[in-house]
Amino acid sequence: MSAEPVAPDVTEQLSPGLRDWMTLERFHLHKPNIFQNTKRDPSFDIRYLPQHSRPFRLPCYWVPRRRLHVLGAPSSDAMTFVSGPSSDERVLFPIHPSALEDFRPWLREVGARDATAEGLWIWALPTSSIRTLLAWPEGSGDRAVFVKTSVHSAMFRDRRITRIGVGRAVGLNTLVAQMRERLPSELHVLSEVFGFSPRHRLDSGAMLRLVPPEVSDGRTRLAPLFSLTGGDNGRVPLLLAMLERTDATPVEFVDRLLCAWFAPLWAELTLRHGVILESHGQDLMLALSADGVPTGDLYYRDLEGLQIDWELRRHHGWPTPELPNGWAWRETYGTWGHIYHDFLWWKWRTSLFAYLRLVLTEVEETLRQWHERGLVRGPKCAEGELTTLFSHHLFTAVERLFNVSLGPRYDTLRSLNRFVIALVKLRSLTMHGGRGAAAR
């Protein structure tokens, strides 16, 4: 199926907050060519890349529920995903247009019905994650949701939604909801409440992610961290626009924006609550007020990438709700499936490296480029300056949590293994009742 662009005013069905968010998702990408190497898959229709795409009709099919593994429940405020009497209940199955031909034999096998034949037209826009689409029924932008579809392309590797992945997202959504009152108030996690996979195609499912109501009604604007430095075709990067409205130097501003508040949040989430974020520029989003001022809140998306320190939870005596896929606990909740990812220390390392290298170092390099072009004023950002500032705040936060001194401070990006080893020792002391027990 090829892209079927429609009139630009289709996006007018969406709230202003959602339109602003999707503008950043599509047109403020940072170095998109790194992730969109079209030479790997010349057959991929580039009109489905976010920066090229206009709204298109999303292929959706009503599939008998008995043909699917279904977990969770869709929100009553979102577009309808379940229909029919219990004896003949059907689930709305969204399929990325690039994968439609691959699905056709299965659709015929299960007797799926094209939703458009029953008068249901779904529009979609791609986000920065190619497989995740903002979707809404014709004329009902207030019921928009994000649907994560299955995509398998040499350009993006295997991005299909497995039965394990569905269970992980829905299960961790339940756990995060249970922890909501305990977690820091400035952290908001986008809900992933519903997902399914074909019984005979366990690696080709889909998931539903909800739009935060405060974004839909305009109280909050969201900006993915990559949009701070991304922008093309005359679009001003968000950070550059922010710097034009402050008296602070670029380094001072970014220190407040990305270092001073996130370092203690990371330490508290990871070492006190056992919640490990996938801390790169796509999954982390800044909350902005209606006039574009950062509020100090952070939004996180993609529960497939979230990690939990289960041993720390047991140490604190926190109950774990019954979670789906308990028969495959390790595969669902214990690992990302890559080498070393069974180990907690590696999960910490991966989270910190993503923020230090993929966020802060990229901002450093961009600030130096802007300085050379005369776009920003003040002292030039030095190499390693932001990661060193972040490390200082991180040392301070960890020392306060454990009531210890970590000794001389250093840039954790340059000595990440050394820092992670120090955290492992502190955690061990805390959990086994030794010196340096963490503050409760």
Q: What digits encode the pLDDT tens for the residues 208-253?
A: 999 999 999 989 999 999 999 999 778 999 999 999 999 999 999 9
pLDDT of residue 72: 96
Q: Is the pLDDT of residue 434 over 60?
A: no
Instruction: Please tell me whether residues 239 and 139 are part of one structural domain.
Output: no
> Is residue 264 packed enough to be buried (19+ CB in 10 Å), middle (13-18) or exposed (0-12)?
middle
Residues 6+ apart with CB under 8 A from 297: 186, 187, 188, 220, 286, 287
Residue 332 has pLDDT above 90, yes or no: yes
Q: Is residue 15 part of a domain?
A: yes
CA distance linking residue 173 with residue 167, whole number of Å: 10
Q: What is the model's pLDDT at position 436?
A: 40
Average pLDDT over residues 270-298: 95
The pTM of this model reads: 0.93
Q: Is 419 exposed, middle or buried (0-12, 13-18, 19+ CB in 10 A)?
A: buried
Q: Is residue 215 part of a domain?
A: no
Whether 104 is covered by a domain: the verdict is yes
Residue 350 scores a pLDDT above 60: yes
- Are 387 and 256 within 8 A, CB to CB? no
Beta strand residue intervals within 22-98, DSSP E: 56-57, 60-64, 68-72, 82-83, 90-94
Q: Which helix (H) or strand (E) holds 197?
A: strand 192-198
CA torsion, points 110, 66, 134, 363, in degrees to nearest 10? Answer: -110
Q: How confident is the model at residue 4 (pLDDT cuts 50, 70, 90)?
A: low
Do 201 and 312 lie in one domain? The reply is: no
Within 10 angstroms of residue 288's Cβ, the number of other Cβ atoms is 18
Of the candidates 310, 312, 398, 313, the one whose C-alpha atom is nearest the C-alpha of residue 352 is 398
> Residue 415: pLDDT above 70?
yes
pLDDT average, residue stretch 269-278? 97
Of 210, 244, 260, the domain-final residue: 210
Q: Give residue 164's Cα distance to chain centre.
A: 18
| Distances, alpha carbon 195 to alpha carbons 9, 93, 317, 346, in Å | 30, 10, 30, 28
Q: Do 152 and 159 contact (CB within 8 A), yes or no?
A: yes
pLDDT at residue number 433 = 64
* Tally of structural domains, the chain: 2
Q: Is residue 3 part of a domain?
A: no
Domain that holds residue 234: 220-431
Per the prediction, the chain carries an average pLDDT of 92
- Residue 238 resides in a domain: yes
| Residue burial 3-33, b: 16+ Cβ < 10 Å; e: rest | beeeeeebbebbbebbebbbebbbbbbbeee
Q: Check which CATH number belongs to the domain holding 359 and give it.
A: 1.10.510
Same domain assignment for residues 334 and 360: yes
Q: Are residues 188 and 255 in the same domain?
A: no
What is the Cα–Cα distance from 208 to 192, expressed in whole angstroms? 6
Say if residue 437's pLDDT is above 70. Answer: no
Q: Tokens for 52?
A: 């090229």
Of the residues 210, 236, 261, the one at which a domain ends:
210
Instruction: Identify whether residues 227 and 155 lie together within a single domain.
Output: no
Instruction: Verify that 99 and 225 share a domain, yes or no.
Output: no
Using the predicted structure, report yes or no on whether residue 339 has a pLDDT greater than 90: no
Does 202 lie in the same domain as 230?
no
The 8-class DSSP code of residue 28 comes to -
Q: What average pLDDT does the segment 74-89 reach?
A: 89
